[in-house]
Structure 1
Amino acid sequence: MNLPNILTILRFLLVPIFTAVFFSHLKYNYILALIIFLLSGLTDILDGFIARKYNMVTQFGKLFDPLADKLMILTVLWCLVLKEYIPPWVFYIVLAKEIFMILGSALLYGKIKIVVSANIYGKISTFLFYIAIFSLILRWQISFYILILALIIAIFALVMYILKYVNEYKRLRSTSRE
Structure 2
Amino acid sequence: MNLPNILTILRFILVPVFVAVFFSQLKFNYLIALSVFLLSGLTDILDGFIARRYNMVTQFGKLFDPLADKLMILTVLWCLVLKEYIPSWVFYIVLAKEIFMIIGSALLYGKIKIVVSANIYGKLSTFLFYIAIISLILRWQVSFHILILAIIFAIFALVMYVTKYVNEYKRLKSTSHE
2:127 partner amino acid = F
Structure 2 residues without counterparts, runs of 5 or longer: none
Cα-to-partner distance string for 1:43-78 (whole Å, 9 max, x where unaligned): 000000000000000000000000000000000000
1:168 aligns with 2:168: yes
Structure 1 residues without counterparts, runs of 5 or longer: none
Match of 2:66 in 1: 66
Match of 2:98 in 1: 98
Match of 2:107 in 1: 107
2:46 partner amino acid = L
2:126 partner amino acid = T
Match of 1:30 in 2: 30
CA distance in 2, matches of 1:84, 1:119: 32
Match of 1:159 in 2: 159
Match of 1:118 in 2: 118
Q: TM-score, normalised by structure 2?
A: 1.00
Seq. identity, %: 88
Deviation at 1:158, TM superposition (A): 0.1
1:130 aligns with 2:139: no
Over aligned residues, Cα RMSD in angstroms? 0.2
Deviation at 1:34, TM superposition (A): 0.1
Task: Give the SS at the match of 1:46.
Answer: helix
Kindly report which structure 2 residues correspond to 1:18-57, keeping only aligned pairs within 5 A, or say none. 18-57=18-57
Structure 1 residue ranges (4+ consecutive) displaced by more than 3 angstroms after TM superposition: none
Match of 2:76 in 1: 76
1:112 partner amino acid = I
CA distance in 1, matches of 2:76, 2:160: 25
2:22 partner amino acid = F
Match of 1:141 in 2: 141
